[in-house]
Homo-oligomer: A and B are copies of this chain.
């Protein structure tokens, strides 16, 4: 590792989209709440029964997911009952599917039940089983070892809060 010329060695690690995503969905239960909603639950009590998590945490997680526009509440009414609200996934929430399916795929490969995966995912209609893939814009399959990370437009170093194109290399700590 050449730390003197690698711009990453001095980058501002707080400015990271992985970290920012985890700030929203990285707490315990959050991704599992979404899982249950994808699997068909939508009401507080159902989510609580399926997850077995503390009720206050469930309430808090739902609030945060709604705040961030990943879930939306919509009113519903069972007859002979007052109107209540339930939780539905939004398109922004659905954009988390590749990430979560990536976790599912890894778990299926390395940590599934001896009998096999508990859940199979299929393309509705065509019925084909799914996989999460990394592709480049020329549609090549990209293996982990063929990924190259470079500074983007929002890149910042620790010492230089904003990196513009004419930026001189910063010094190490």
Contacts and interface: CB of A to CB of B under 8 A. Distances in A.
A95 B13 CA distance: 23
A168 interface: no
Nearest to A108: B17
Interface string A129-158: 111111111101011111111111111100
Please state the number of chain copies in the assembly: 2
Interface residues of A, number: 96
Contact of A148 (B98, B117, B122): B122
A72 interface: no
Nearest to A100: B18
A146 B126 CA distance: 10
Interface of A: 1, 6, 8-9, 11-13, 15-24, 26, 28, 31-32, 35-36, 38-42, 46, 49-52, 92, 94-126, 128-138, 140, 142-156, 162, 173
Contact of A149 (B120, B143, B149): B120
Given A39-B149, A144-B94, A21 B129 contact: no
Contact of A130 (B95, B119, B134): B134
Given A1-B42, A118-B17, A133-B133, A138 B123 contact: yes
Contacts of A12: 118
